[in-house]
Chain A
Amino acid sequence: MSKQSGVPPTMADTSANVTGSRPGALSDGFDVARLLLKGRAFFALIAIIIVFSILSPYYFSVSNFLTMSSHVAIFGILAIGMLLVILNGGIDLSVGSTLGFSGVIAGFLMQGVTLKALGVVLYPSVWVVVVLSVALGGFVGLVNGVLIARFKVPAFVATLGVMYVVRGLALLMTNGLTYNNLGGQADRGNTGFNWLGFNRLLDVPIGVVVMIVIAAAGSLVLNRTAFGRWLYASGGNERAAELSGVPVKMVQVLVYVCSGMCAAVAGLILDSQLTSAGPTAGTSYELTAIAAVVVGGAALTGGRGNIRGTLLGAFVIGFLSDGLVIIGISSYWQTVFTGGVIVLAVLLNAVQYRRRVKRPSATDGQSPSQVTGGSAKLAGPARERTAG
């Protein structure tokens, strides 16, 4: 604290890129503990790779990394959408169901749509299927967003409800069965669905490419657009953001739409990888996505976190569980290990953010806080109060 206020402006302080100063990416101090704390997701990933490379001769190879990465892609894409929601201070429990539902819709469309009135069967081409499925994901997100922003339903409850509804709809669509024929036929002009799951671009699985594209776009949005700044601000302090003219409601709705769309994209890739569209696909994936965001250093209270961390989080979880499979550890143990990693991550987040808020804000204790009108029922200030 005292160190901060007395320091004269240094070159590093004034010349560093302002938009690069996301919490967690500050470049002050070089002591090892701090470095380890900040880069914990990265170091955890390195440690995981080293340990499993020692334990198994098959782990350390480009082809294995690419295979594991294509597993990670599904969670990575979900986690990016989840990150936006968590930055806003919300949570989206419906992404697993949305993934399943969008996948089922895609599978349904690939089977051909029978229009009874006209007596024809339409076979939409793959890009139409993709657009419709992603739009559907976005619509589910819109429902979440409107419930939360407009009708003030707590995010946890709203998305929990939507999670059940959407999963139910997916089961209804297929009567619980799975669409197996997604390949399409050349004469119907709807081939190419398998491209998502099986093709490679310069040897990199398409799913991974999609994840990288989404991550890059997400990074750009977060760091270089007004929307990104609005998102960080309204997640950090919604009241202050609103009074600064930030359209907080719109931001809130949009993050859920983005999350829903990410879930739909993940659903398409998963269907394509599995060559089938099942209504139970993606069950409990929302929890893995949340875990990846948390392991990546984002704060569940909102306002802190970034795409890079979230991707690292997804890789940590993915490479860990695949590694455990490769060395032949029981899947029950995998669950235990994954859980342990998540708890450890949250613990470290608490350590990191406690250090940041510990600086007492001079006014908190000094002025007799005068509550004139307006309710003080807020989640945010609780954190600040600990500072005084």
Chain B
Amino acid sequence: MTTLPPAPDAILSARNVTKIYGSTHALKGVNFDIHRGKVTTLFGENGAGKSTLMKILSGVATPTAGTILLDGEVVSFASAAEARARGISIIHQELSLAPNLSVRDNIFMGRELRTPTGIDFAEEARQARALMAELEEEIEPMTLIEDLRLGQQQIVEIARALSVDSRILIMDEPTSALSASEVEVLFRVIRDLTSRGVSIVYISHHLEEALQITDYAVVLRDGSITATAEARDIDLEWIVRNMVGENFDLGSPPTGYAFGEVALSVRDVSVADASGTNSFVVDRMSLDVRAGEIVCIYGLMGAGRTELLECVAGRVPMAGGQVLLEGEDVSRLSIAERIAKGLALVPEDRQRDGLVQTMSVGENLSLASISAFARRLLLSPAREKAMIAETIRSVHVKTAGGNAPIGSLSGGNQQKVVIGKILTTGPRVILLDEPSRGIDIGAKAEVFRLLAERAARGLAVVFSTSEVAECLSIAHRIIVMRRGRISAQFGSDVTKEEIMAASGEAVIA
């Protein structure tokens, strides 16, 4: 790979940066420039490597290979604090505030203004108030973070980054929790900052919004930069085209058989917002899925996909409505009872909800169906072993064997274990929440092939995704969710642009 010289106005550049996690290449020789006093936006789907790149630029992670140039000289940050000392701040997607402390204490956390006798609280409060005024947010410095709305918390996070006089400010999805007026304020602040010479890196899934504020656009896909351009030369279509890519095949909807009866019927299901406000994250949604049918649910973050699937599986309480499995009402049943009846969920976060890290591959595979191996009280190790070997074969898990620790598997293989575990329970309906998250393209294709195979044998499949390309793979029907409701339904002949328009991500005339 040839090393490109940094752009003439680059303040911070990555050159041939590669990052490897286990067996996954998160970044593959990336060249990325942050332009001085400009907004550079990084576009890319989930798992494209945006966050990884930002972590490397801000000193949170170190690259496996490649160099970072700050003002043209090679630097390597040992920690985020070191990067911050050189003027690089990052606002993470997940907020890093202490909810039990006040706004003032959060802004000055770790770098309190000391006096010989303690902390200069008055000065801290004064500066905090000044920052809030600058951000046009009426938040008292002594308010506890936990008493603030999520959007306000985001503002505090931004204030904290501003308070250290950053030269480079990285914002990872800063608007995902902001209201329209808060976004406007944020954009005004960004313009003000760039006019003062601060360089901004901006990451957002709201493409239109990002296009409004950015000067440069960079698109990242599967760990590589696929396109770079100045904002005035491009439009949304350009971004979408480069983000999604044209040529990858995740399969097509299985054909050659007729769908069976309605296997899963979701009727007017509502799920209350976990934060305790009176809103609903899923708002009277209805959906029928037939045996053998594959339905894809697409939506942005916060559209209510996860909540819907978890509610149908029995994980989160239903605020209203009914879930019918093959005509039988299962709304009141526990998760275990629903699994026994044939309705099971493959959760979104497999580390947190899918796998037991302390157990082996085999024990994870047999966990959901363990009672099936019992003769009277005792388990039959032989039967369990046979079933584990069978499942490892049928879902193509690449492993040294059933005894291997689950942590020794790659992400894709771990996901196959979670799916295999559910398939051994003999489900009639399988729900998968972002089954392709964080797994490489080969494993994705395998997972989809597996699902298509099972669907052809009569399994009803519902999977959610935040990647448009995946909607256009094996799904017979695509449902777009927006703010807890179905905003559109399509057949498999829909285009990416139509899907994105319905989700509120991009409106393309």
Contact = CB atoms under 8 A, between A and B. Distances in A.
A270 B335 CA distance: 43
Interface in A80-114: none
A179 interface: no
Interface stretch (A137-145, A204-212, A355-363): A355-363
Contacts of A380: 352
A235 B367 contact: no
A232 B351 contact: no
A246 B367 contact: yes
Given A245-B339, A304-B358, A363 B411 contact: yes
B400 A13 contact: yes
Contacts of B359: 23, 232-233, 236, 303
A21 interface: yes
B252 interface: no
A225 B47 contact: no
A70 B86 CA distance: 66
Interface string B204-231: 0000000000000000000000000000
B306 interface: yes
A229 B425 contact: no
Q: In the complex, which of the residues B22, B172, B405 has the most CB atoms of chain A within 10 Å of its own CB atom?
A: B22
A366 B274 CA distance: 27
Interface pairs A-B: 3 shortest CB-CB: A367-B438, A363-B438, A303-B358
A57 interface: no
Nearest to A228: B379
A363 B403 contact: no
Chain B: number of interface residues, binned into ranges: 35 or more
Nearest to A224: B378
B350 interface: yes
Nearest to B380: A224
Contacts of A245: 335-336, 339-340, 344, 368, 425
Interface stretch (B242-250, B290-298, B369-377): B369-377
Given A361-B351, A363-B351, A225 B378 contact: yes
Contact of B24 (A235, A357, A366, A372): A366
Contacts of B348: 370, 372
B363 A21 contact: yes
Contacts of B402: 14, 18, 21
A237 B411 contact: no
Given A362-B23, A367-B47, 8 more contacts: A16-B403, A18-B360, A240-B352, A243-B347, A244-B368, A303-B359, A362-B22, A368-B51
B49 interface: yes
Contacts of B389: 14
Interface in B321-374: 334-336, 339-340, 344-345, 347-360, 362-363, 366-368, 370-371, 373-374
B414 A361 contact: yes
Given A245-B339, A366-B24, A374 B306 contact: yes
Nearest to B306: A372
12 contacts: A10-B400, A18-B360, A18-B384, A233-B363, A240-B347, A242-B335, A243-B345, A245-B336, A303-B357, A362-B411, A363-B437, A366-B47
A256 interface: no
Given A366-B21, A368-B46, A240 B356 contact: yes
A9 B355 contact: no
Interface in A10-42: 10, 13-14, 16-19, 21, 23, 26
Contacts of B188: none
B472 to A, nearest CB: 21
A243 B354 contact: yes
Given A230-B370, A244-B368, A368 B93 contact: yes
Looking at A4, A18, A356, A388, the one whose CB has the most chain B CB atoms below 10 A away is A18
Contacts of B371: 226
Contacts of A220: 378
Contacts of B307: 372-374
A371 B379 contact: no
Contact of B400 (A9, A230, A237, A376): A9
B378 A370 contact: no
Contacts of B421: 244
Interface of A: 1, 4-5, 7-10, 13-14, 16-19, 21, 23, 26, 220, 224-226, 229-230, 232-233, 235-237, 239-247, 299, 302-304, 356-357, 359-376, 378, 380-381, 383-384, 387-388
Interface string B10-23: 00000000000111
A28 B15 CA distance: 41
B302 interface: yes
B351 A21 contact: no
Given A21-B363, A372-B348, A247 B336 contact: yes
A372 B381 contact: no
B508 interface: no
A8 B400 contact: yes
A222 to B, nearest CB: 11
Contacts of A359: 22, 405, 407-408
Given A19-B384, A368-B47, A368-B93, A239 B301 contact: no
A5 B408 contact: yes
A380 B371 CA distance: 25
Interface in B386-425: 388-389, 399-405, 407-411, 414, 421-422, 425
B22 A21 contact: no
B94 A225 contact: no
Given A359-B407, A374-B316, A232 B356 contact: yes
Contacts of A387: 407
Nearest to A234: B356
A13 B425 CA distance: 25
Nearest to A383: B357
- Quick one: which of A243, A246, A361 has the most chain B CB within 10 A? A243
Contacts of B22: 1, 5, 359-362
Interface in B230-246: none
Nearest to A388: B21
A366 B410 contact: no
Contacts of B169: none
Contacts of A246: 336, 367
A355 to B, nearest CB: 11
Which of B49, B358, B407 has the largest number of chain A CB atoms within 10 A?
B358
Contacts of B501: none
B284 interface: no
B161 interface: no
A17 B340 CA distance: 27
Contacts of B351: 361, 363-364, 381, 384
Nearest to B371: A226
